[in-house]
Amino acid sequence: MNLFKSHAKNYSFQDLGIFLLPAFTIYALFVLAPVFLSFRNSFYYWDSPLSEARFCALQNFRLLFRDPVFWSALRHNFFLLFGSLLFQLPLALGLALLLNYPTWGRGFLRTAFFTPMIIPSSATAVLWQYIYEPQSGLLSALIRIFRPDFAYAWLSSPGSSLFWIFISISWQYIGFHTVLFMAGLSSIPEELYEAARLDGASEWQICRRIVLPCIRPTLGVSATLSIIGSLKYFDLVYLMGGGLPDSSREVLATYIYRLAFDENQGRYGYGSSAAVLLFILALIIVIPLQARKNQV
Amino acid sequence: MNTKKLSAAFVIRHLLLAVFLLLTLYPLFWLSLCAFRSEGDALQRPLGLPAQWTLANLREVLHSGNFAQAYLNSLLVCVVAVLICITCATMAAYAFARFNFRGKNWLYMLFLLGLMIPVHVTLIPLNQLLGADMLRLKGGLAALIGPYAGFGLPVSILILRRAFEALPAELLDAAALDGCSNLQVFWHVGLPLAKPALNTVLIFNFLTMWNEYAFALTLLGPGRQTVPLAISEFKGEFDLRITVVCAALLLVMIPLICVYACAQKQIIRGLTAGAIK
């Protein structure tokens, strides 16, 4: 009976249309078609919204590879990427491990750590711009307690501003990863810890031999999300990097945006070729990760 | 001896957590205080309690900003986009979970590909497309609805498909045997049972759309604002007046924080639901 049922076709052609067509139409129109058009645009010389686009084959890409701003933007993306993998994730994991023991106000702490995630990033950007205000900002004011007359333009020195922006991005996301890790940790059965303690394992050994292997899947998810996230990061870098010279304030997404939409720019073709490279980069980096995960 | 050692670890652990709690919440606390300071106070002694509490900043925001309009705009866009997105996503997810048609995996992968597509790849073409003759949506609030719904689909379908697959198939089959059409089974049996997942998807989409910045920045015409856009433009206008901008930020964050305080569990679950193994 069961065998028979599983082979039975439980839908008609019409059903497929009713159930799938609305989603597919919207997805095709607003996600797939634009991606396709981006690919097409990237082969065109098209320097203002008003002018006619002219086919130029790979010229845009050739220019892009010689464009110092593009390379610095790419470097900045990788700075964000490694920063989030080497700073945000370990810190979040540490917090989650601390919270894994019986803790006062555990629920409250979890909620509090997660708070920055629900605030619009444009509000976060404004908040941190004031924190980094050279004179009256929070950070300068705090340092003035120890060193009177201290003032520092955190966000307008080309060399280090991206680092300070990265700190505020971390403020946004560490709580998010902490919550993910907490969920991963809570799925480890209590008996495992107890058995290990009975066998005389130290906390450090428990952490290395039990906890870390058990939350490897969660680590993978967090890492993948961080990688995708830092490749397509836009908001805070765009909002906080305003006053800097071009090459020190861009990541790929902001560069694409500025090429196309900043005043006096409108370089749709060139911007599209940068967008295409961003997309391909995301695929190249993420697909092997996903494939490996499916194998395990 | 043992308890003493334990309690030392206990104290250190709580100290570390307290430090991080401070790092997370103090900026928000500082901003809230700043909203009630006088301007001179904010410049001269930015730390500590305000020398004199004042409501002048909040009043000025209410008079000069158009946050009320921005709120309405955001609400309108988000509600419509969420409804469209969820309706389409639930139906598609149901089909993916229940029907075995040819090319199903390919189609599903195509939808999941959306998780990896940076929205910025689509900004330029969407700007073209929405201004095209057929749609003529450029600059208006309606321009945001399509992209928001479209980019909400992948995660929603992913979550909902899992929810539908977790339902006992016998239940749905029984309804079908009793003569319900697939649409009826979906509506009367599938949907009510998938309600927790629906809530999750609803919260996820609503918050992501509510806080979305890049599309709003690109696709809205002058004078049209959603809340995130209104904040950054307000900052541009009142840049040097910290206290007023902080008051605006406070007004934007209070409703969010209130909602968050009431429904933290659901919201945390909603926002982390996309992160499934």
The two three-digit tokens of residue B213, written as one number: 């910045």
Residue of B104, B110, B120, B173 to mutate when probing chain A, most A C-beta within 10 A: B120
Q: Give A3's pLDDT tier (boundaries 50, 70, 90).
A: very low
Residues B32 and B159 in one domain: no
CB contact under 8 A, B122 and A35: yes
Q: What is the pLDDT of residue B245?
A: 92
Together in a domain, B6 and B113: no
Q: Is B176 on the interface with A (CB under 8 A)?
A: yes
What was the pLDDT predicted at A7? 47
Q: Does A57 contact chain B (CB < 8 Å)?
A: no
Which of B16, B232, B272 is nearest residue A122 as measured by Cβ atoms? B232
CA triple B80-B154-B269, angle to 5 deg = 80
**Average pLDDT over all residues of chain A:** 88
Is B157 a domain residue?
yes
The DSSP output letter for A207 is: I
Are B150 and A27 a contacting pair at CB < 8 A?
yes
Same domain for B36 and B139, yes or no, is no
* Residue B72 domain boundaries: 67-237
Strands A54-55 and A44-45: antiparallel
List C-alpha distances in Å: A24 to A33, B74, B110, B159.
11, 25, 10, 17
Q: Tally C-beta pairs within 8 A across A and B.
A: 276
Least confident of A47-61, A149-163, B75-89, B187-201: A47-61
**Least CB–CB distance from B157: residue in A23, A142, A179:** A23
Q: Is the pLDDT of residue A153 over 90?
A: no
Do B43 and B166 belong together in one domain?
A: no
Q: Residue A2 has what pLDDT?
A: 46
Residue A214 pLDDT greater than 50, yes or no: yes
Q: Say yes or no for a CB contact (<8 Å) between B91 and A260.
A: no
CA distance A141 to chain B (A): 7
Q: Cβ A26–B153 below 8 Å, yes or no? A: yes
Interchain CB distance below 8 Å, B147 and A30: yes
Residue keyed to tokens 């939409």: A261
CA A24 to chain centre: 26
Question: What sign does the dihedral A196-A202-A203-A205 (CA atoms) show?
Answer: negative
**Could you give phi then psi for residue A262, rounded to 5 degrees?**
-65, 155
Asked if A24's CB is within 8 angstroms of B207's CB, the reply is: no
Kindly tell me the burial class for residue B5, based on how many C-beta atoms sit within 10 Å of its own C-beta (0-12, 13-18, 19 or more). exposed
What is the reported pLDDT for A293?
66
Give dist(CA A150, CA A143) in Å, integer.
7
Q: Are residues B36 and B138 in the same domain?
A: no
Are the C-beta atoms of residues A165 and A236 closer than 8 Å to each other? Answer: yes
Residues 48-67 of B with CB under 8 A from A: none
First CA to last CA distance, chain A = 34
Residue B175 lies in a domain: yes
User: CA A115, A118, A123, A128 torsion: positive or negative?
Assistant: positive
Retrieve residue B82's tokens: 């969420």
Tell whether B245 is covered by a domain.
no
Given CATH 1.10.3720.10, say whether it is the number of domain A78-248.
Answer: yes
In a domain, residue B213? The reply is yes
Residue B253, domain member (yes or no):
no
B95:A119 CB<8 A: no
The B residues from 92 to 131 touching A (CB cutoff 8 Å) are 92, 94-95, 98-101, 107, 110-111, 114-129
The verdict on A219 touching B (C-beta cutoff 8 Å) is no
Same domain (yes/no): B108, B231: yes
Q: Give the closest of B101, B121, B267 to A279, CB-based.
A: B121
Residue that terminates a domain, selected from B60, B84, B100: B60
Both B156 and B46 in one domain: the answer is no
Report the distance separating Cα B256 and Cα B271, nearest Å.
14
Question: Which among B18, B221, B130, B212 has a CA at the least distance from the CA of A109?
Answer: B18
- Which residues on chain A are in Cβ contact (under 8 Å) with B186? 19
CB atoms < 10 A from the CB of A51, how many? Answer: 11
d(CA A32, CA A29): 6
Do the beta carbons of residue B159 and residue B96 sit within 8 Å?
no
Which parts of chain B sit beneath pLDDT 70?
1-6, 132-135, 276-277
* B28 shares its domain with B73: no
Residue B200, in any domain of the structure:
yes
What pLDDT score was predicted for residue B159? 92
Q: State the CB neighbour count (10 A cutoff) for residue A163.
A: 12
pLDDT tens by residue, A233-292: 999 999 998 777 777 889 999 999 998 888 777 788 898 999 999 999 988 988 887 777
From A31, A112, A282, residue closest to B21, measured CB to CB: A112
Instruction: Measure the CA–CA gap between A75 and B215, rounded to whole angstroms.
Output: 25
**Interfacial B residues in 129-148 facing A (CB < 8 Å):** 129, 146-147
| Chain A residues touching residue B210 (CB < 8 angstroms) | 120
Residues B26 and B158 in one domain: no
User: Who contacts B154 (Cβ-Cβ below 8 Å, separation ≥6)?
Assistant: B111, B112, B113, B114, B115
| Cβ atoms within 10 Å, residue A198 | 8
Residue ranges of alpha helices (H) inside chain A are 2-7, 13-27, 33-41, 59-65, 68-83, 89-100, 106-114, 121-131, 138-146, 161-186, 190-198, 203-206, 212-214, 216-231, 235-240, 246-249, 252-261, 268-295
**Pair A230, A80: CB distance under 8 Å:** yes
Question: Out of B25, B123, B207, whose CB is closest to A260?
Answer: B123
Q: How many CB atoms lie within 10 A of CB A219?
A: 16
User: What is the count of structural domains for chain B?
Assistant: 2
What Rg do the C-alpha atoms of chain B give, in angstroms? 24
* Interacting residues of A208 by C-beta distance below 8 A, sequence separation 6+: none
**B210 and B95 part of one domain:** yes
Which residues 101-140 of A have a C-beta within 8 angstroms of B?
101, 103-104, 109-123, 125-131, 133, 135-138
- Comparing A48 with B31, the larger pLDDT belongs to B31
What is the helix (H) or strand (E) element at residue A45, kind and residue range?
strand A44-45
DSSP state of B139: B
Residue-wise pLDDT for B125-142, tens only, equals 898 888 766 667 777 888
Residues B145 and B113 in one domain: yes
